[in-house]
Structure 1
Amino acid sequence: MKPSDQLSEFVREALAQGGEPAQIAQALTHAGWSAPEIAEALHGWEVSPGLPPVPRPRPYASAQEALLYGLLFLSLGMVAWHVCDLGMGLIDRLIADPAEGWTYGGSSSARWSIASLIGFAPLFLFLNRKVARMSMGDAGRRRSLVRKWFASMTLLVASLVFLGDGIYAVYAFLNGELTARFAAKAVLVAGVAALVFAYYRDELND
């Protein structure tokens, strides 16, 4: 039996014998358990009059959901990347840069981005709708550890992109290189990162 299971079983037996949560927490602290471990163990059981301690739902992991959320995460990343790529190509065409002139030759890159969006955007929409339906039909899926891990990874990447974009914009400004074209590209990247962050920000609160 794992230490966490031993702790949970002790808490269950202590509650079943009428022990108070504060008293149990004090005994566990004296035995060397940490405060987060104690809080998690106590939170795992619901005490109701006339009934033994009732277990509360716990997070879980599923290989099937790992595949589902992995594809969702990948498709979202590809959509965001190629939206930025197309947007930057459009900015290069619309905003002239005196230092570079009209040297944009990204037609091949634009075609590749369009093809990728045609493939990944419907996949993302399909998977996102599937996940939403699964969550509506089974609220327990909101406790999926895989779901939370991929949401955390998405928010981490979006935060790093947003932070890096801001730092680079400040550096360009201090270096006297903040042109209209550069500023437009920085706003585009920040906007896409902010949309991704806003889309997933509530996932960790479930």
Structure 2
Amino acid sequence: MRGGDRLEEFLRAGLEAGHGPERLASVLREAGWSERRIEAGLAEWHVEPGMPPVPRTGSGQAGAGPALMQGLGFLALVAMCWQLVQLGFLLAEHATPGPAPDWSGATRMRWPIAVLVVMIPVFSVLHLRRDASGWPRRWLAVGSGFLAGIALLGSAVAVVHALLSGDLTARFALKAAVVVVVALLALLVYRRELGAPGAEVGPRGLIGLALVMVVAGIWVSGGPAAGRAEQRDQERWSDLDAIAFQAVCLAGEGVAVPPVVATEACPDLPNLVDRQTGAPYRIALARPGMVRICAEMESEAMARRPSPAGPGCREVMLSDEARRGPGLMPPGGGILAPDAGPGAIPRP
């Protein structure tokens, strides 16, 4: 029999025997039951002198509604914790020294921010309600505690391994701290189901952390205007890729590059001008056998992107000789020539 069923049976029997709610609550406290569980159990019964105890409408397990709401609350908790960790990792990469993040790092922040913006009010409504109680929450408390414990143990193992391996950098430590803080707050969300005081510490702390990280993410990623600029830069980079492919095709046919043109063998002429500004893309030889293609990028993320060819530029090798570089193979290919074999006549 579940703890909630045992409590319900005790209260029913006690009220039917004529004992008052105050006396029953005192006995339950002495037996170790939490104040929250006692209040929730007594609230399920209506006591009228001379009448047996009457269960209140909607109390206990009167329907699937409470279980559905608690399930949605647990889903909101999982979604918030997962996306908080993802967003925290991206913010840690932005705030700490280390390998330069990919130019689309700000773009990758926007999905966690979107999930959190939707889930914060859902989580608040479902977990800050005064009547949030019952057997579903007790089982969900066990599940959330188990998952939070796994996260905490895994973080501890990762930190010790990084310390022993000499990889405990500021970035790694900050990411580990994000996991630990989120896991602890998730563990405290169901604290009252475990019989501890301070029922709203976990939910309020998780909501506060989510709001702070959402604001920080929007500040770093730049908001809608920066997102539109990054989309336009992605179009420009796609044009540069198409120009590079056409340049390689032309070089393979023996056509001098630049300029980039369309021929019978290479009929697909790419877009050679910026679709937004109308300015032509810059195409020039970086050195013999290599062409550099550049565009004026407008997003800060692309401007910060490290590239050997420079911001907003890419380089492509045109000739096989340039890709191979100097070597020891004879001009005719020697014994590795395609037509070499027993009795083959060497090329002049």
Task: Give me the TM-score of the superposition, normalised by structure 2.
Answer: 0.39
Determine the structure 1 residue equivalent to 2:82: 81
Asked if 2 retains the 8 angstrom alpha-carbon contact of 1:151 and 1:203, the reply is yes
Give the partner amino acid of 2:121.
Answer: P
Identity %: 31
Give the partner amino acid of 1:87.
Answer: G
Determine the structure 2 residue equivalent to 1:102: 100
For structure 1, list consecutive stretches of 5 or more residues without a partner in the other structure: 5-39, 136-141
Determine the structure 1 residue equivalent to 2:119: 120
In structure 1, how many angstroms separate the alpha carbons of the residues matched to 2:151 and 2:111?
Answer: 22
Matched, 1:202 2:192: yes
Of the three residues 143, 158, 161, the one matched with 1:168 is 158
In structure 2, how many angstroms separate the alpha carbons of the residues matched to 1:83 and 1:41?
Answer: 38
Deviation at 1:202, TM superposition (A): 2.4
Asked if 2 retains the 8 angstrom alpha-carbon contact of 1:155 and 1:201, the reply is no
Give the match's secondary structure for 1:96.
coil
Task: Report how many residues are paired.
Answer: 156
Asked if 1 retains the 8 angstrom alpha-carbon contact of 2:155 and 2:180, the reply is yes
Give the match's secondary structure for 2:168.
coil
Asked if 2 retains the 8 angstrom alpha-carbon contact of 1:87 and 1:188, the reply is yes
Determine the structure 1 residue equivalent to 2:167: 177
Determine the structure 2 residue equivalent to 1:15: none
Give the partner amino acid of 1:91.
Answer: A
Of the three residues 128, 137, 154, the one matched with 1:147 is 137
Extract structure 1 runs of 4+ deviating beyond 6 A. 40-43
Determine the structure 1 residue equivalent to 2:344: none
Matched, 1:193 2:193: no
Give the partner amino acid of 2:147.
Answer: V
Deviation at 1:51, TM superposition (A): 4.1
In structure 2, how many angstroms separate the alpha carbons of the residues matched to 1:176 and 1:66?
Answer: 48
Deviation at 1:111, TM superposition (A): 0.6
Deviation at 1:43, TM superposition (A): 9.8
In structure 2, how many angstroms separate the alpha carbons of the residues matched to 1:205 and 1:169?
Answer: 31
Deviation at 1:92, TM superposition (A): 0.4
In structure 1, how many angstroms separate the alpha carbons of the residues matched to 2:6 and 2:64?
Answer: 26
In structure 2, how many angstroms separate the alpha carbons of the residues matched to 1:111 and 1:180?
Answer: 24
Give the partner amino acid of 2:194.
Answer: L
The structure-2 alpha-carbon separation of the partners of 1:89 and 1:45, relative to structure 1 and needing over 3 Å to count, comes to closer
Asked if 2 retains the 8 angstrom alpha-carbon contact of 1:65 and 1:147, the reply is no
The higher relative CO (CA closer than 8 Å, separation ≥ 6) is in 1
In structure 1, how many angstroms separate the alpha carbons of the residues matched to 2:79 and 2:7?
Answer: 42
Asked if 1 retains the 8 angstrom alpha-carbon contact of 2:83 and 2:115, the reply is yes
Give the partner amino acid of 1:199.
Answer: V
The structure-2 alpha-carbon separation of the partners of 1:45 and 1:72, relative to structure 1 and needing over 3 Å to count, comes to closer
Asked if 1 retains the 8 angstrom alpha-carbon contact of 2:94 and 2:101, the reply is no
Deviation at 1:191, TM superposition (A): 0.7
Task: Give me the TM-score of the superposition, normalised by structure 1.
Answer: 0.64
In structure 1, how many angstroms separate the alpha carbons of the residues matched to 2:111 and 2:73?
Answer: 20
Deviation at 1:205, TM superposition (A): 2.2
Asked if 2 retains the 8 angstrom alpha-carbon contact of 1:45 and 1:53, the reply is no
In structure 2, how many angstroms separate the alpha carbons of the residues matched to 1:45 and 1:201?
Answer: 24
For structure 2, list consecutive stretches of 5 or more residues without a partner in the other structure: 25-40, 45-58, 197-348
Give the partner amino acid of 1:161.
Answer: A
In structure 2, how many angstroms separate the alpha carbons of the residues matched to 1:66 and 1:42?
Answer: 19
- If each structure's helix is expressed as a fraction of its own residues, which one has the higher value? 1
In structure 2, how many angstroms separate the alpha carbons of the residues matched to 1:78 and 1:51?
Answer: 47
In structure 2, how many angstroms separate the alpha carbons of the residues matched to 1:145 and 1:69?
Answer: 10
Give the match's secondary structure for 1:103.
coil
What CA RMSD, in Å, does the superposition of the two structures yield over aligned residues?
A: 3.3
Give the partner amino acid of 1:68.
Answer: M
In structure 1, how many angstroms separate the alpha carbons of the residues matched to 2:72 and 2:10?
Answer: 35
Deviation at 1:44, TM superposition (A): 4.4
